[in-house]
Structure 1
Amino acid sequence: MTETGNPSQHANVNQYSGSHIQILEGLEAVRRRPGMYIGSTGEHGLHHMVYEVVSYAVNEHLAGHADVIDVTITADGGIRIADNGRGVSVEVEEPTGKSAVERELTELSFGPKPHAGYVVCGGLSGLGLSVVNALSSRLTVEVHRDGHRWTQEYQKGAPITPLTRNEETSKHGTTIEFLPDADIFDTTRYSFATLSERLQELAFLNAGLAISLTDERPERPVRYLHTDGLRAYVTHLNPYPPSLVHSPAIAFESENQDKTISVQVALQWNTWSPGEFHSFANSTRTHEGGTHEEGFRTALTDLINDYARRQQQLSADEADITARAIHEGLTAVVSVKLAHPVFEGATRTKLGNPEADTYVQEVIREHLTDWLDHHPNEAAAIIRHILNAPTKHGRR
C-alpha cells in the first residue's frame, strides 16, 4: 500500500497526533470514486455502508464466534454496530508496524485479511471496513479482546489517535460507530424500514443469529432471531395460510465434502401469487441471479416433470410442464455460501461460480426428490396446482 507524504514523517503506532495523519492513496481513490465500491452516493450506497460492517459481524457468526449483532441509528444520524465475536485483532503486524485493526480499516486488499481466519466471507471480501472508513467523516472502533478494551478514532479514513489500551474487561467483540461523510453522499439520513428489512433477512439466512435494530431518533427497537432459518423466511413471505398448497414449507440444506460450498433451500407453493424468488450468496442478495439460480431452476423443472410422469399425473404423450408454470405461486429462497465466490459488479449482485450451478442441481435433485417421495399427498397437491396453471405447456 503506497502512502503520500514524506516517509521520514511517518507516525509511530504509539505517537499519533493530528499532524501525523497520512491519507492512504487507496482510500483516497475510494473517496474520489465511491460508486465503484458501494454502487452509488444515494440512499442505496448509504445503506450499503451499514451492510458492509454488518457483513463483517456475520462473518464472525459463520466462523462460530458470534451470535449477537446490535445495530443502532444514533441520535446524530450515525450508525453503531456491535457484535460479540472475537474482536478484531489488535496485534501489531510486521513489517508495517500497524495493528491488525488499523490495517482492516485502512488497507484495500482484496480477499479476507490473513489473520481473519474466515472460510466464508460476505460483503466486499476484505474491502468493506476500509471502504466504510474512507467514506465516513468520522469513525470510532472499540475492541474487547485480550482482556482489555481498545479504542481508536479516524477522520475520513485516516487515524487521528493511536490504538489505545483501556481498562480491563472480560468481554469480547467489536463495535464500530461511523458518521457518513455529507460531502460525499447525496443524503445521510438512514431509513429504519430499509435497514430493518435487510437485517431481518440476514436473521432468516443465518439461523441462531440474533440481530437487533434501535433508532435513537426516537428509539424504535426491534430484534430478530430465527432458529428455523429459511423455512421461517418462506413462512414470512407466505402470510395467508388458507392459500397454501401445502404446509409447512419444504426446507433442506447440504454442504459438500470439502466444506467449500453449502446450500440452503426453502420453497412453498400458494394459490394467490405469481411467484416470488429470492437468492443469496454469502448472505448477500443476488438481485441479478447467477449460477445458483440457474441450477435451482434447471433441477426443479426437470425434477417436477420426472416426478409427474412417474406418478402418471402427466402422461407420456403430453408435453413437458414449463418452468413458468412450475414457478407460478412458488415462493422460494436459495442461499449458497462459498469459500471463493465470484461476483459480477462491485456490489455483488450476480454470482458467477459454475460449481454453484452443479452443486445446487445435485442438492435439489437428491433432497426434493426424497421429500416428494416421502410426502405423496402433498406432492400430488403440488403437481395438481402446477398442472392447473395456464402456462403449463409451451416455452420452458
Structure 2
Amino acid sequence: MSDDAIRYDAGHIQVLEGREAVRKRPGMYVGSTGERGLRQLVFDVADRAVNEVLVGRASRVEVTLTADGGVRIADDGPGDPFEDTGTAGAPGLETLLTRIQTGVQPAGRHDVALGYCGMGPFVTNALSSRLTAEVRREGVSRVQEYSRGIAVTPTTRSGPATGTGTTITFWPDAEIFGTATYSFDGLEERFRELAFLNRELDISLTDRRRPVEARTVRFRFPGGARDFVAFLDERAGAPVHPDVIALGWEDRRIAGTVEVALRWCHSREQRIRSYANCRPTLHGSTHETGFWEGLTAAIDAYAREQRLLAASDAPLGTDRIGEGLTAVVSVKLDQPEFHGATRSVLGGTGVRECVAQAVQEHLDSWLASHPEQAAAIIDRISGSSAAPVATGM
C-alpha cells in the first residue's frame, strides 16, 4: 500500500454545518428519504403549533395536504414575530427556520415533540424546495419566502390580517425525497394519538391532493386516556365490564403527572400503549413496569380477599391478568430519563415506584366499590388458560 493511500490528516476531514449538513445526510435528521421522512417534516413544523395550543396561546391547529404537493400547518395563536425574539423570549420565526437548534434536550411535561429528533422547522426548511411563512399579528399579515433553507425575500407586508396566527406551507424537495408521497393514515394515527394524550388539543387533518376525494378528520378527546381505551376497544369484542377504569394524578416525587386507563374485553390480545411526554415507549420502560406491578398486586389481593381464589392457588401473573386487557399508561415529567438516542425507553426507579403505588391504591378502591364488575374481571382472569398475544406495543 502506498504512502498516498494511507496518509490521512485534518485536511481530509470535511466539516458540514447547518443546512448543508441536513441536505447532505437527511436520514440523520428525519429518519429516511421515504414516507417516514416526509412525515417527520410535518411533525417538525407541527411541534411549534401544537405547543402553542398546549400552553394556551392558541385554540386549534389545522394541517392540510395541498393539491400541489405542499403541506400547510396553521394555528390561531398570537403570531410569532420574525425578529430574533419571539413569544416569552423564545427565538423568532426566522431564527427557527434558518438556524439549527443545538443542544436539544428531552422536552419537559409541558412540551410535545411529535417525531424523531425534534429539531424544529429548520430541518423542514432545509429539505424543502420552497417554504412560505406567514404571520398574522397586530392587524397585519407579513410573509417571507425560502428556498432550500435560504430566505429569498425579506419579510414583506402582504396586507391586512383577520385574526392572528402563524401559517407555514412547504413543498418537500424532490431532489431529496424523489417520488415518495405522504400516507394520510400515518399522519392521522399520530395526530389522533396526540389528541388522546392531550385532552385540550384540537387538531384537524385535511387531504386536498385529490379534490374529488377531499377529506377532513378532526381530533379532540376531552376524555383523554379514557377515550383512548374506548377507541382501542372498538375491534376487541364485548367488554367484560362497562366502565373504563381511569385515574390521573400529579406526584411531586417524580415532578410530573400520570394518567392511566384500562378495561378488560372478551379477547385474547393485550392492547397496551405506554407514553412518556407523549412519546411512545417500549416494553421495559419504568412507568409500564410500575403499572404491571400495581395492577397484579391489586387484582391478586382482591381475588383472595373475596375468596374468588383459594389460598392454595398460585399468584395471578401478568400473562393471565393481561389477557384481553386494554390499557394506556402516560406520564409527563419535567426531567424524563430516556435511554438511547431514540428516547423510546423511560428510566427512573422513582417513576416505577410511584406508578405502582398509585395504580394499586386506586384499583383497590375501585374494585371494592364496584363488586359486580370486579367479580366479572376476576372470573375472566381466573378462566384464562393461555398466554395472550401482545399487540400495540
TMscore range, shorter length: 0.7 to 0.9
For 1:11, the equivalent position in structure 2 comes to none
1:361-390, Cα deviation, whole Å (9 max, x unpaired): 233123222222221211121111111111
For 2:325, the equivalent position in structure 1 comes to 330
> What TM-score do you get using the length of structure 1 for normalisation?
0.82
Matched, 1:120 2:115: no
For 1:161, the equivalent position in structure 2 comes to 153
Q: Is the 8 A contact 1:264 1:336 kept in 2?
A: yes
Q: Is the 8 A contact 1:112 1:121 kept in 2?
A: no
Q: How many pairs does the alignment contain?
A: 364
Aligned pairs for 1:350-389 within 5 A: 350-389=345-384
Partners of 1:258 and 1:144 lie apart in 2 by 42
When residues 275 and 74 of structure 1 are mapped into structure 2, their CA distance, relative to the original with a 3 A threshold, is same
Partners of 2:25 and 2:176 lie apart in 1 by 10
2:182 to 176, 190, 202: 190
1:225 to 220, 223, 226: 220
Shift of 1:245: 0.5
Structure 2: gaps of 5 or more residues: 1-15, 388-393
2:166 to 167, 174, 179: 174
When residues 280 and 67 of structure 1 are mapped into structure 2, their CA distance, relative to the original with a 3 A threshold, is farther
Aligned pairs for 1:97-112 within 5 A: 100-105=92-97, 106-111=99-104
Shift of 1:272: 1.9
When residues 369 and 190 of structure 1 are mapped into structure 2, their CA distance, relative to the original with a 3 A threshold, is same
Aligned pairs for 1:11-26 within 5 A: 25-26=17-18
For 2:10, the equivalent position in structure 1 comes to none
Matched, 1:248 2:243: yes
1:78-103, Cα deviation, whole Å (9 max, x unpaired): 21111223333434349xxx961122
> Which SS does the other structure have where 2:234 is aligned?
coil
When residues 132 and 390 of structure 1 are mapped into structure 2, their CA distance, relative to the original with a 3 A threshold, is same
When residues 103 and 154 of structure 1 are mapped into structure 2, their CA distance, relative to the original with a 3 A threshold, is same
Shift of 1:71: 0.8
Shift of 1:147: 4.2
1:124-164, Cα deviation, whole Å (9 max, x unpaired): 67612222222222222222234432322222222222233
Aligned pairs for 1:209-358 within 5 A: 209-218=201-210, 219-239=214-234, 243-257=238-252, 260-287=255-282, 290-358=285-353
When residues 78 and 354 of structure 1 are mapped into structure 2, their CA distance, relative to the original with a 3 A threshold, is farther
Matched, 1:204 2:199: no
Partners of 1:62 and 1:307 lie apart in 2 by 39
Shift of 1:227: 1.8
Partners of 1:182 and 1:307 lie apart in 2 by 60
Partners of 1:240 and 1:306 lie apart in 2 by 31
Q: Is the 8 A contact 2:29 2:117 kept in 1?
A: no
> Which SS does the other structure have where 1:268 is aligned?
strand
Q: Is the 8 A contact 2:131 2:147 kept in 1?
A: yes
Structure 1: gaps of 5 or more residues: 1-23
When residues 201 and 139 of structure 1 are mapped into structure 2, their CA distance, relative to the original with a 3 A threshold, is same
AA of the residue aligned to 1:213: L
AA of the residue aligned to 2:286: T
1:274-314, Cα deviation, whole Å (9 max, x unpaired): 11111222223235662222222222222222222222222
> Which SS does the other structure have where 1:238 is aligned?
helix
> What TM-score do you get using the length of structure 2 for normalisation?
0.83
Q: Is the 8 A contact 1:244 1:270 kept in 2?
A: yes
Partners of 2:139 and 2:80 lie apart in 1 by 13
1:191-249, Cα deviation, whole Å (9 max, x unpaired): 12222222222222221422211111122122222222221121111126962101121
For 1:19, the equivalent position in structure 2 comes to none
Shift of 1:35: 2.5
Partners of 2:351 and 2:141 lie apart in 1 by 41
AA of the residue aligned to 1:244: P
Shift of 1:59: 1.6
When residues 70 and 382 of structure 1 are mapped into structure 2, their CA distance, relative to the original with a 3 A threshold, is same
Q: In angstroms, what is the RMSD of aligned CA positions?
A: 2.9
For 1:149, the equivalent position in structure 2 comes to 141
Matched, 1:60 2:60: no
> Which SS does the other structure have where 2:176 is aligned?
coil
